Amino acid sequence: SVSEGHFVELLPQLKSGALDLVIARVWQPHELAGIDQMALFSEPVVVVAGRNHPLVQVGDVAWSDVSSYPWILPHPTSVARQAVDALFATNGLSPPINTIASLSIALNLELLRAMPAFGLLPLRLAQAQAAKGGVVILSLETRDLLSEARCFWRKDQVSQNATLSLFLKCLQQTTADIETIPFG
């Protein structure tokens, strides 16, 4: 089965054995006791808005321009949200207060179409949605925000779980294949 959630929710399930594997975008990767991890790929995260957003017509937009608008962001207690808040701080701004916390890509895309809000998407997804006319990618620097995806598993499980072992080999092969595909 597949579970979707924030890393802070999934990690305890991984540690307890309820999950065999977690794949997540990370911010400031570090070692975790009893957990092995593997970098899968790196892909930028970009700021997007619906095509009818008032600032889309402006052209050159700065972080100070977007901070007062609504944002669709990860849950406030998530690692991803901490990373976003740090990005705003790096740009000399307080994190946005008018936010919608959502994990759902489908919902986020609909909200971006329906209201003057900003959100974050992985570059290739944003490019695909922009090609369909659903969103516009803003040229705001995100400084490698959540750009690395990693896989996490319990160290003691690989030798005991043939399915996990095979899946990890498949991920390693896929990762090798992805490295030959340029992003952007």
C-beta of residue 140 within 8 angstroms of C-beta of residue 63: yes
For the packed helices 79-90 and 7-16, what is the interaxial angle rounded to 10 degrees?
140
Q: What is the pLDDT of residue 126?
A: 96
- For 128, the enclosing helix (H) or strand (E) is helix 123-131
Q: Is the pLDDT of residue 182 over 70?
A: no
* CATH superfamily, with its number, for domain 45-137: Periplasmic binding protein-like II (3.40.190.10)
Alpha helical stretches, state H, 5-122: 7-16, 63-66, 79-90, 105-114
Q: Across-strand partners of 39? A: 150
- The token pair that represents 51 in the structure block: 């095509």
Q: What is the pLDDT of residue 109?
A: 96
Instruction: List Cβ neighbours of 116 (8 Å cut-off, separation of 6 or more).
Output: 49, 50, 52, 53, 54, 55, 69, 70
* CATH superfamily, with its number, for domain 7-41+147-178: Periplasmic binding protein-like II (3.40.190.10)
Task: Give the CA dihedral 130, 104, 97, 54, nearest 10 degrees.
Answer: 20
pLDDT in tens, 131-148: 999 999 999 999 888 888
The residue extents of the domains of the chain are 7-41+147-178, 45-137
pLDDT in tens, 52-103: 999 998 878 999 999 999 999 999 988 889 999 999 999 999 999 999 999 8
